[in-house]
């Protein structure tokens, strides 16, 4: 079967299962609106790569069944939980071209406060100290409330990830092993988020970057594949030789899209530069740049109000230093490594071919 056709069939199956699983949780009238918003966030975009990889790993050892279609939601819910919290921490307002959970609840609390800027249309209101206090109060209330709602959504999604894995219908001992891995994935994912935050404020090497993405993107592919193999009764550590290099290629390409991508990515292509993200693009460019280029990058990276011209100048430097070409080649080399790693793994031919094609897809996509 054609890769893209098979991919879309699996993606639709996963999304239908996500919708039905979350719809079953809306039994409280008070919480119904919150669950609707959470459901929309999970379903509003994304490629469903992680549950698809989990399904195909399972099917590579054992016939696909309804149990794995429920169990595979566990990694998608953890991924969504991490994105909602990540958006709140970064104060992002867009993901997949739509408002983040954080932004949605900032708007909701703002509307409930009936606050108006109309009184600040004249200078006479600004000279009163109460005016500044009003603005500070509103900003603090918005920030605290929206962050709290994002944190609660993230927590609920994690608990639901455990629930769908627990209730998928597998043998008790097998389920306990799967849950232990699932919890370990979540712990390491949080460590990866910490590394990402700490790296924004320091000079980093390529190895630092790769260690960080292994803790974020890498484990969100590796652990679902490990769990799927355990559920299928065919635990094999060789899967890591595929999942981690494939995830490295995926994340490096994702960083390229985050800086050079267009509207199809669904997020601003200047946000990584304005936040000063230490992507492999930036790490490589700093290493190869002239002093003048370094000064220009230092002046723009991490500058929230950087102009379009300043951001474009950084993009030009990323090209001129060879950083863009290096990262493109690096991403391809990792996915080629992943492809080769599939050879000794005793998967069915259909799933072996699919996972090989997936490794190519993650570095060729434009979204």
CATH of the domain at 93: 1.10.600.10
Q: Is the pLDDT of residue 154 over 90?
A: yes
Position 14 in a domain: yes
Q: What are phi and psi of 244, to 5 degrees?
A: -70, -45
Position 79 in a domain: yes
Position 365 in a domain: no
Q: Is the pLDDT of residue 62 over 60?
A: yes
pLDDT mean over 12-23: 93
Burial pattern 342-363, b for ≥16 Cβ within 10 A else e, equals beebebeeebbebbbebbbbbb
Range of the structural domain that residue 124 is part of: 1-171
**Alpha carbon distance 49, 161 (integer Å):** 16
Position 274 in a domain: no
Query: What average pLDDT does the structure give for the chain?
Result: 91
More confident residue, 97 or 122: 97
What pLDDT is stored for residue 263 in this prediction?
A: 56
What pLDDT is stored for residue 264 in this prediction?
A: 54
pLDDT mean over 213-221: 94
What pLDDT is stored for residue 265 in this prediction?
A: 55
Considering its fold, how many domains does the chain have in total?
1
Confidence band (pLDDT; 50, 70, 90) for 356?
Answer: very high
Name the residue among 261, 284, 286 with its Cα closest to residue 271. Answer: 261
pLDDT mean over 224-230: 97
Q: Is the pLDDT of residue 191 over 60?
A: yes
Tokens encoding 320 = 């001129």
pLDDT mean over 172-186: 97
Question: Percentage of the chain surpassing pLDDT 70?
Answer: 96
Position 42 in a domain: yes
Spacing of C-alpha 129 from chain mean position: 42
pLDDT mean over 52-61: 98
Confidence band (pLDDT; 50, 70, 90) for 201?
Answer: low
Question: pTM for the full model?
Answer: 0.90
Q: Is the pLDDT of residue 124 over 90?
A: no
Position 121 in a domain: yes
Q: Where are the alpha helices (DSSP H) in the chain?
A: 3-23, 32-43, 49-61, 66-71, 73-90, 101-113, 123-126, 129-166, 172-199, 206-213, 219-231, 240-260, 271-275, 280-288, 291-300, 308-320, 323-341, 349-361
What pLDDT is stored for residue 262 in this prediction?
A: 62
More confident residue, 120 or 184: 184
Q: Is the pLDDT of residue 162 over 80?
A: yes
- State the Cα angle at 323 between 320 and 326, rounded to 5°: 125
Paired sense of beta strands 98-99 and 94-95, if any: antiparallel
Q: Is the pLDDT of residue 14 over 70?
A: yes
Confidence band (pLDDT; 50, 70, 90) for 266?
Answer: low
What pLDDT is stored for residue 197 in this prediction?
A: 83
More confident residue, 143 or 345: 345
Name the residue among 365, 283, 268 with its Cα closest to residue 322. Answer: 283
Q: Is the pLDDT of residue 312 over 60?
A: yes
What pLDDT is stored for residue 25 in this prediction?
A: 75
What pLDDT is stored for residue 301 in this prediction?
A: 93
Tokens encoding 305 = 């109000």
Position 296 in a domain: no
Lowest mean pLDDT among 21-30, 91-100, 154-163, 328-337: 21-30
**Alpha carbon distance 191, 212 (integer Å):** 9
Position 240 in a domain: no
């Amino acid at each position: 079967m054609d890769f893209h056709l098979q991919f879309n069939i699996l993606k639709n199956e996963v999304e239908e299962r996500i919708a039905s699983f979350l719809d079953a949780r809306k039994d409280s009238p008070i919480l119904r609106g919150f669950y609707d918003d959470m459901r929309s966030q999970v379903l509003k975009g994304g490629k469903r790569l992680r549950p698809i990889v989990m399904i195909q790993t399972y099917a590579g050892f054992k016939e696909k069944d309804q149990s794995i279609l429920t169990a595979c939601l566990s990694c998608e819910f953890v991924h969504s939980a991490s994105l909602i919290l990540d958006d709140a921490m970064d104060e992002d307002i867009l993901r997949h071209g739509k408002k983040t959970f954080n932004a949605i609840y900032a708007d909701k609390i703002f509307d409930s406060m009936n606050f108006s800027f109309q009184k600040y249309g004249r200078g006479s209101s600004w000279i009163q100290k109460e005016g500044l206090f009003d603005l500070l109060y509103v900003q603090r209330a918005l920030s605290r409330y929206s962050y709290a709602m994002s944190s609660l959504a993230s927590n609920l999604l994690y608990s639901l990830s455990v629930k769908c894995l627990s209730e998928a219908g597998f043998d008790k001992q097998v389920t306990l092993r799967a849950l232990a891995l699932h919890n370990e994935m979540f712990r390491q994912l949080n460590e990866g988020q910490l590394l990402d935050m700490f790296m924004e404020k320091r000079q980093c090497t390529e190895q630092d970057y790769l260690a960080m993405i292994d803790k974020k993107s890498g484990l969100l592919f590796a652990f679902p594949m490990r769990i799927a193999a355990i559920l299928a009764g065919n635990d094999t550590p060789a899967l890591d030789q595929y999942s981690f290099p494939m995830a490295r290629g995926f994340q490096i390409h994702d960083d390229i899209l985050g800086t050079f991508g267009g509207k199809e990515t669904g997020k601003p292509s200047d946000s990584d530069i304005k936040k000063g993200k230490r992507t492999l693009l930036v790490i490589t460019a700093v290493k190869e740049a002239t002093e003048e280029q370094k000064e220009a990058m230092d002046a723009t990276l991490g500058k929230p109000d950087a102009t379009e011209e300043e951001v474009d100048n950084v993009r030009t430097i990323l090209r001129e230093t060879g950083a863009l070409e290096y990262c493109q080649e690096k991403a391809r080399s990792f996915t080629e490594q992943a492809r080769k790693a599939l050879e000794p793994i005793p998967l069915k031919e259909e799933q072996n071919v699919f996972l090989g094609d997936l490794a190519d897809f993650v570095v060729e996509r434009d979204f």
